[in-house]
Chains A and B, each alone.
Chain A
């Protein structure tokens, strides 16, 4: 028969055994969590809150008025145009590259994968610089372009090219591991049964890779709309003409127009939040990153 004293002793004994939380373990746990949260609070939460607080600092009217500025509108249009060209092109590239790399065995494949990932390792400033060296006034094609009155650098084509470079790997690196893991069996079955290549892609492959595709596309889009360094180098910063939203933020900020700068920044922050929400929903659907 166990009296109250002995059961207390047993409980104390149990608490020191592995798998049971004791006071010191609890202390460590809350210290680690507190340390993590303080770090994330200072680096993520505070800046994000500061964007909206500063944008709304002079009230809602001033906030919405800053979007009436024609230069701001032009910047939003330019960013949307750039993303509308870059994202579909890089999506097509990503699918094509993933099909070729995941479905077939050939020599030089790992080399090809490394080269596709290369833009992720290159500094954004270098990503812009290379296009200036290629298409700028003193560049390889500079003289020819001038003769034919085509402007690439300090114009829309340059912005599109630099954005394509920095977002180049996003869709491909999402789809390659996914398609490699899914294997060829179902596609081979479809082809053997007489389905055409396109039919097989749209009806067999695409439904199985759709979440990976969504994931890659939204991240590609977020980077395309938000790229600063590469675009800054090729754009020439001609106000209202070649300034994308991030570049326009810089101009307004340097003019001490904080409400205007943070109002544009708040739009891009909302884009980032929406991207994260879609990303989380895709992960909830069972899609796992590799």
Chain B
């Protein structure tokens, strides 16, 4: 049976189907989860795409391995994968601590006609990435999960293995620090101050 990434069937149901030998379920889960885990890992690792791909691949591999023993109803599949990816990112950040963070891979320059809006969006994204990298790791993680990956606070609490209150505190502090850092970029991005 074919499932596309948007079909109504839950991640958990797909994982059970996968464990029972359904090849299409693996494809749908990959399409749903791999891009999100990659985006999260890239932001946690300072835009290093090659390393983020390694993390995404490893997190997905661990999901395939746990599939036969998956206990239904205990955790959300996406939360579980984010938690694995989060731990993998933390390990890698620890290993390279002291080494300068990589530059964000994408070059926002775009010379094509009518590209002003795209250029501006790309500049904003770049400014955000730079500001995110200056946040303490836990704040960055909470802000990325909340505002870029769209997870709810209880899910983030499960990913980070902390309380919901701690998540709220981390995201609030992270947002304040981002607002402060990005205020200086507002003028150069062409915004009004008002």
A and B associate in one complex: no
Binding site for A on B (CB under 8 A): none
